[in-house]
Amino acid sequence: MRTAYTSDQIRAAERALMARLPEGTLMSRAASGLASACVRALARVRGLVYGSRVVLLIGSGDNGGDALYAGARLAARGARVDAILAGSRAHQAGLAALRAAGGRAAEFAPDAARELVSAADLVMDGLVGIGSAGALREPYGTLAGLVADAPGLVVAVDVPSGVDASTGRVDGPAVRAHATVTFGAYKIGLLVDPGASFCGTVELVDIGLGPYLPDADVAAPTAGDVAGLLPSPAAESDKYRRGVLGIVAGSDTFTGAAVLSVGGAIRAGAGMVRFASVEESVRYVRARWPEAVTTVLAPGSTGVLDDIGRVQAWVVGPGLGTGSHARDLVAEILGTDLPVLVDADGLTHVARDRSLLRRTGPTLLTPHAGELARLLDVPREDVEARRIEHVRRAAHELGATVLLKGSTTLVAEEDRPVRVNSTGTPWLATGGTGDVLSGIAGALLAGGLSCYDAASCAAYLHGLAGRAAAAGSARGARPGGEAAIAALDVAEALPDVVRAL
């Protein structure tokens, strides 16, 4: 797991470590790692450091000191380094080191700053550090705007200026970096949107904080973590031991949701899928997924679970509709003591009547930001601005595991670290991909994983499958390019993704 921390937790660990080290050791370690990352970046785009033009944006804090010392190292290797001093003060020892190495520094002046930034091969953002919160003050906001138009590489020091290191919140202008070099440990705001979208590639420099960090409240599963959790059939396995998933989804209007959720479950490795819906949705599922065992639900019928057959877990809601009959089906499934994943229209019924969640079995909710806003009765924009806060609140108030979908997918459960998914592609923002995700997670629930692990693994697999599908459909694109995908492409990519893990 990649663990992540708040700025307060990082600063406490730094204080504990600094008490055992000579003064300036941590800054030296950070500057060395930062300079090395910039050397590698310049080598990729220019082939060498010598003669490159580097601009440092320097604020009043220690991040400015890190940038000045790193700039001195680059100047010593032949780079032309200019520092723009934008704060009320600058780190004096770092400034002296830069000048001694041949670098230059001057107070902020708009025209001169614009000229320097526009000609730079690399801009290093050392304006504010992890303790900053709220909108950037001037002239930092102006410099963030200049960086947005910069043709060169942008490297953020520890965290992009304007991004709240503890939450990922962005209140106003912020530096959008190609890479962020962070020190000691990952900060939560580097992993969670909207802040994560400003970071580019995040590189961690070890400065020795590990023994002084507390237990993490946020973690990002890695490929190894997911591979270790995925159910794998043994020699004695049969379809029942591998897990039987019941899916109640689809309607006369929304047949596609049925096909996609069933497809996600089958491609994710469910031993058997029992699917129940109205005749039209059953017809489409039978045509596309003959492996599924199907049951036609008569209009208005209830008390249908015995007719469907025994299962180890349920998925309910995709395309089900929001009428009274759909509500009765959701209530009937939530009335069991089996693990239940509630998605899409099922979440609408739960938002209308949260008493449906008073149950003995495990519950996994998979809302997007708008659905979570309805569940919590808050504005959607509040959820999107403070995703960690709201997904934690939902897990606590609703007594369920909550997978919050979006550009950063989060998984929260009471008294557990929030898990942040690191995979995915913007091409997943298309209709039906959430239905596939519900099928993947349902298959893992039926296979014996907890809601917490099933949600985390499903999000990871879903993101990888989205990337694989987008890359595979990029016919005629440049190597490494991506192109538009359909939701069914994601389901079809799952076996190769699981095989690779």
Tokens 């009547």, residue located? 353
| Residue 500 resides in a domain | no
Give the alpha-carbon dihedral of 430, 433, 258, 273, to 10 degrees. 170
Of 161, 190, 220, at which residue does a domain stop?
220
Same domain, 377 and 279: yes
Residues 22 and 149 grouped into a single domain: yes
**CB-based burial label for 34 (10 Å; 0-12, 13-18, 19+):** buried
Report which of residues 491 and 306 the model is more confident about: 491
- Give 329's pLDDT tier (boundaries 50, 70, 90): very high
Looking at the fold, whether 393 and 268 belong to one and the same domain comes out as yes
With respect to residue 466, please indicate whether it lies within any of the assigned structural domains.
Answer: no
216 and 243 assigned to the same domain: no
Helix/strand/coil percent split, the chain, to 5 = 45, 15, 40
497 by DSSP, 3-state: which?
helix
Confirm or deny that 177 is annotated as ligand binding.
Answer: no
| Residue 319 and residue 436 in one domain | yes
**Percentage of the chain exceeding pLDDT 70:** 98
* Long-range pairs for 469-472: beta carbons < 8 A, 24 or more residues apart: 469/427, 469/493, 470/425, 470/427
480 is in an annotated binding site: no
Please tell me whether the overall predicted TM-score, pTM, comes out greater than 0.85 for this model: yes
pLDDT band at residue 480, thresholds of 50, 70 and 90? low
Please name which of 308, 352, 306, 307 lies closest in space to residue 326, comparing C-alpha atoms. Answer: 352
Integer angstrom CA distances of residue 72 from 23, 65, 66, 97, 309: 19, 11, 10, 6, 71
Say whether 407 counts as a known binding-site residue: yes
Indicate whether 241 and 134 sit together in one domain: no
Residue 500: pLDDT above 80? yes
Is 60 annotated as ligand-binding? no
Residue 257 annotated as part of some ligand binding site: yes
CATH code (residue 387): 3.40.1190.20
The answer to whether the beta carbons of residues 6 and 165 sit under 8 Å apart is: yes
- Ranges of beta strands (E only) in 19-152 are 53-58, 80-85, 104-107, 122-126
Predicted local distance difference test score (pLDDT) of residue 473: 56
294 shares a domain with 398: yes
Question: Does residue 144 sit in the same domain as residue 65?
Answer: yes
Residue range 380-395: average pLDDT? 95
Tell which residue, 82, 79, 80, 84, has the closest CA to residue 39: 79
Q: Does the annotation place 228 within a ligand binding site?
A: no
Residue 3 burial (CB count, 10 A): 17
Q: Is 368 annotated as a binding residue?
A: yes
Task: Classify residue 432 by its DSSP letter.
Answer: T
Is 135 labeled as ligand-binding? yes
Residue 143, domain CATH: 3.40.50.10260
| 200 marked ligand binding residue | no
Count Cβ atoms below 10 Å from residue 313 Cβ, excluding itself: 30
Q: Quick check: is 395 in a domain?
A: yes
Distance CA 59, CA 89 (A): 7
Average pLDDT over the chain reads: 94
32 marked among binding-site residues: no
What pLDDT is attached to residue 472?
A: 84
- Residue 485 above 80 pLDDT? yes
**pLDDT number for residue 258:** 98
The answer to whether residue 50 is domain-embedded is yes
Q: Note the pLDDT of residue 477.
A: 44
What is the per-residue pLDDT across 100-126, written as a single tens digit (0 to 9) for each?
999 999 999 999 999 999 999 999 999
| H/E stretch holding 404 | strand 401-404
Provide the pLDDT for residue 45. 87
Q: Say how many domains are in the chain.
A: 2
Are 244 and 319 in a shared domain?
yes
| 210 assigned binding-site residue | no
Q: Is 421 flagged in the annotation as binding? A: no
- Name the band, by pLDDT with cuts 50, 70 and 90, for residue 478: very low
pLDDT at 474 exceeding the cut of 70 = no
Would the annotation count 126 as a binding residue?
A: no
Question: Would you say 409 is a known binding-site residue?
Answer: yes
Checking 382-388 for CB contacts under 8 A at 24+ apart, the result is: 384/194, 385/169, 385/194, 386/167, 386/169, 387/168, 387/192, 387/193, 388/167, 388/168, 388/188, 388/192, 388/218, 388/418
For residue 478, being part of any structural domain is answered with no
Q: Is 134 annotated as a binding residue?
A: yes
Confidence tier at 475 by pLDDT (50, 70, 90): very low
Whether residue 328 is annotated as binding a ligand: the answer is no
Residue 436 has pLDDT above 80, yes or no: yes
489 within a domain of the structure (yes/no): no
Residues 22 and 100 reside in one and the same domain: yes
- Residue range 62-101, pLDDT digits in tens: 999 999 999 999 999 999 999 999 999 999 999 999 999 9
Average pLDDT over residues 239-243: 83
Q: pLDDT tens for residues 133-144?
A: 889 999 999 999
Structural domain range at position 129: 2-220
238 within domain boundaries: yes
- Interatomic CA distance for residues 435 and 117, integer angstroms: 45
Q: Tell me whether residue 335 is annotated as binding.
A: no
Q: 423, 443, 459 — which closes off a domain?
A: 459
Identify whether residues 242 and 337 lie together within a single domain: yes
pLDDT, tens digit, 9 for 90 and up, residues 49-61: 999 999 999 999 9
Residue 304's pLDDT band (cuts 50, 70, 90): confident
Q: What's the whole-number mean pLDDT along residues 279-296?
A: 97
**Domain check: are 214 and 269 in the same one?**
no
**133 labelled ligand-binding:** yes
Mean pLDDT value of segment 175-194: 96
Q: Is residue 371 part of a domain?
A: yes
How crowded is residue 59: how many other Cβ atoms within 10 Å of its Cβ? 28
324 marked as binding residue: no
Q: Is 8 annotated as ligand-binding?
A: no
- Domain end point (choices 179, 194, 220): 220
Q: What percent of the chain has pLDDT over 90?
A: 90
> Residue 37: what pLDDT?
97
